Amino acid sequence: MSRNIVIFDTTLRDGEQSPGASMNLGEKLEVAQALVDLKVDVIEAGFPIASPGDFEAVRSIAENTKGATICGLARCNDKDIDRAGEALKPAEQGRIHVFLATSAIHREFKLKMDKQEIIDRAIAGVKRAKSLCDNIEFSPEDAARTEIDFLCKVVEAAIAAGATTVNIPDTVGYATPAYMGRVIADLKNRVPNIDQAVISVHCHNDLGLAVANSLAAVENGAGQIECTINGIGERAGNCSLEEIVMALKTRSDFYHCETGIDTTRLVPTSRLVSSVTGLEVQRNKAIVGRNAFAHESGIHQDGMLKNPTTYEIMRPEDVGFQKTDLVLGKHSGRAALADRAKSLGYHLEGDKLQEVFEAFKKLADKKKEVYDSDIAALIDKRVAAHDDQWQLVRYELKLEADGIPAATVTLKRGGEQVTDTFFGGDGPLDALFRVIEKITDTQVMVRDYRVHSVSQGKDAQGESTVELEYQNRLYRGRGVSTDTVEASTLAFINALNRIALSAGEPVKTQYRDTV
């Protein structure tokens, strides 16, 4: 049976503690709504005593954001707790999160309290918070560096005083997975009232282990994970929400746990947080980085085209990316090149594929990434290099006395030059296309046709693009000229040449002499 793990998001509190990540009220409300859409269970909206702005952010999120528990942080003193209680008043479901450090280092140097004072203060703080709100979380800050016997005592006292969630922070990212797992197992085994509260973990990433430590905690019985979008937070950050959620989902066979997160919202939420905080997501960041579903090497791309499960353990659509990205570069092979060419409207195989592949490898040695426009240019250059391709010599358009268009076109190919005329059609351009079909002996359907200006002024260049259907495949053509009719004619011929290049000899078809 699957166990539900509560996802506690602290992007707006610990995440905002990343240097330079401050968000204004409007941005915080927007992020809070995105977190609701993502379906997190708890949103830690801020630390109300920290400033009037933080108080107003927590109050306003409590008032306006429905669909998640809204939490406010407080030190273990009356002023902080009362301020948090006040900010959370408008919430449908509120939670006060009281923290007090318990490790020897923090007791001695920071708080200057002995063990008994810590226990007494924790009990008093939880009781005060409980008088304002039913849902209370208590965190023994720096728990991972706290003596385990003392930690058990503090946790037992906090639960007895009314804490409904006990959060075990690895405040300085000191734990390792086996160690974190053991702390949680010890609390489960040694604290008599532990089952009266949810055990939570809050892991920092100083050793790059925040997600691994959180997973180890889950494996040993933790029921809540504290995390942030993109893993932002104090210093090296916190456990990344997207990574922990996808680890639990992808390895549900091992953890037998689930979360309520709508994982298709992960990428949009990551982008929103990155844009409001100004903290960029590194390209190779797991789950949401630009390269997370990008493949550049030929062997991987070939495997991906045969079956995506060969090189992907998750589907990009499941986290909110549109699709896998097969990036063409110096490590790519023929399979990926042919696939990309196909998506651009060319169909390469055999010798033609080999010829373009050799030119592609030379280019890829010089360029980091080969873009679609590079591939199209390579293939088009090959088209132009062949004198077995049709070229426009001249064209003439007239309207006959009865208003019927007449298009006369001269095309050449190698040593051959052909002139022909077509009368009729759906207009002058249709007449032009028909006569070209007649000369080239190729019958196509025009699926799309566009003209737009690509430069400015009276002598602006017009660019025409056409999309032709031929034998159930689409071929695109492009033409540029200051004369838009000529641009359209060139685009049509360009597409017909691509048909010839890709499919070998044009298939002879009957010319349609009626519209």
Cβ proximity to ligand ACO: between 96 and 411 the closer is: 96
Question: Taking contact as CB under 6 A, which single stretch among the options 47-55, 255-263, 294-302, 410-418 is the one that binds ligand ACO?
Answer: 47-55
Applying CB under 6 A, what is the total number of residues that bind ligand KIV? 9
Cβ proximity to ligand ACO: between 171 and 259 the closer is: 171
User: E strands within 142-285?
Assistant: 165-170, 198-203, 224-227, 257-258
For residue 139, the partner it binds in ligand ACO, ligand KIV, none, with Cβ less than 5 to 8 A by kind, is: ligand KIV
- Residue written as tokens 């539900």? 4
Applying CB under 6 A, what is the total number of residues that bind ligand ACO? 15
Q: How far is the CB of 167 from ligand KIV (least distance, A)?
A: 6
* Residue 513 marked ligand-binding: no
The reply on whether position 18 binds ligand KIV by CB under 6 A is no
The reply on whether position 141 binds ligand ACO by CB under 6 A is yes
Q: Which two tokens stand for residue 101?
A: 């450090």
Q: Looking at this protein, which amino acid is placed at residue 445?
A: M
* Residue 331 marked ligand-binding: no
The reply on whether position 47 binds ligand ACO by CB under 6 A is yes
Cβ proximity to ligand KIV: between 169 and 479 the closer is: 169
Rounded to whole angstroms, the Cα distance separating 486 from 489 reads 5
Rounded to whole angstroms, the Cα distance separating 159 from 163 reads 5
Question: Taking contact as CB under 6 A, which single stretch among the options 28-36, 165-173, 213-221, 414-422 is the one that binds ligand KIV?
Answer: 165-173
Question: Which of these, 127, 46, 51, lies nearest to 88 by C-alpha position?
Answer: 46
The reply on whether position 111 binds ligand ACO by CB under 6 A is yes
Rounded to whole angstroms, the Cα distance separating 119 from 299 reads 60
CA dihedral 95, 101, 103, 104 (to 10 degrees): -160
The reply on whether position 202 binds ligand KIV by CB under 6 A is yes
Question: Taking contact as CB under 6 A, which single stretch among the options 2-10, 28-36, 73-81, 408-416 is the one that binds ligand ACO?
Answer: 73-81
Q: How far is the CB of 467 from ligand KIV (least distance, A)?
A: 56
The reply on whether position 139 binds ligand KIV by CB under 6 A is yes
Residue numbers 195-254 binding ligand ACO by CB under 6 A: 234
Residue 178, Cβ neighbours under 10 Å: how many? 10
Rounded to whole angstroms, the Cα distance separating 6 from 431 reads 67
Cβ proximity to ligand ACO: between 110 and 256 the closer is: 110
The reply on whether position 77 binds ligand ACO by CB under 6 A is yes
The reply on whether position 171 binds ligand KIV by CB under 6 A is yes
Query: Helix or strand or coil: residue 167?
Result: strand
The reply on whether position 138 binds ligand KIV by CB under 6 A is no
Q: Return all residues near 169 (Cβ < 8 A) that are at least 6 apart.
A: 99, 139, 140, 141, 142, 143, 144, 201, 202, 203, 204, 226
Bridge partners, residue 98, by sequence: 74, 138
Rounded to whole angstroms, the Cα distance separating 143 from 147 reads 8
CB 283 within 8 A of CB 291: yes
Cβ proximity to ligand ACO: between 13 and 498 the closer is: 13
Question: Which of these, 22, 21, 45, lies nearest to 33 by C-alpha position?
Answer: 45
- Cα distances from 171 to residues 76, 136, 141, 345, in angstroms, run 16, 20, 6, 55
Among positions 43, 49, 71, 468, the unique one binding ligand ACO when judged by CB under 6 A = 49
What is the enclosing helix (H) or strand (E) of 3?
Answer: strand 3-4
Q: Give the gyration radius of the chain's Cα atoms.
A: 33
Q: Which two tokens stand for residue 31?
A: 């992020």
- Residue written as tokens 């140097």? 109
The reply on whether position 214 binds ligand KIV by CB under 6 A is no
Q: How far is the CB of 147 from ligand ACO (least distance, A)?
A: 18
CB 273 within 8 A of CB 282: no
For residue 259, the partner it binds in ligand ACO, ligand KIV, none, with Cβ less than 5 to 8 A by kind, is: none
* Residue 149 marked ligand-binding: no
The reply on whether position 122 binds ligand ACO by CB under 6 A is no
The reply on whether position 228 binds ligand KIV by CB under 6 A is no
The reply on whether position 185 binds ligand ACO by CB under 6 A is no
Sign of CA dihedral 72, 78, 79, 85: positive
* Residue 14 marked ligand-binding: yes
Cβ proximity to ligand ACO: between 75 and 330 the closer is: 75
In the bound complex, which residue of the shown chain has the CB atom lying closest to ligand KIV?
A: 169
Q: Which residues are annotated as a binding site for Mn(2+)?
A: 14, 202, 204, 238
The residue ranges that bind ligand KIV (CB under 6 A) are 14, 99, 139, 141, 167, 169, 171, 202, 204
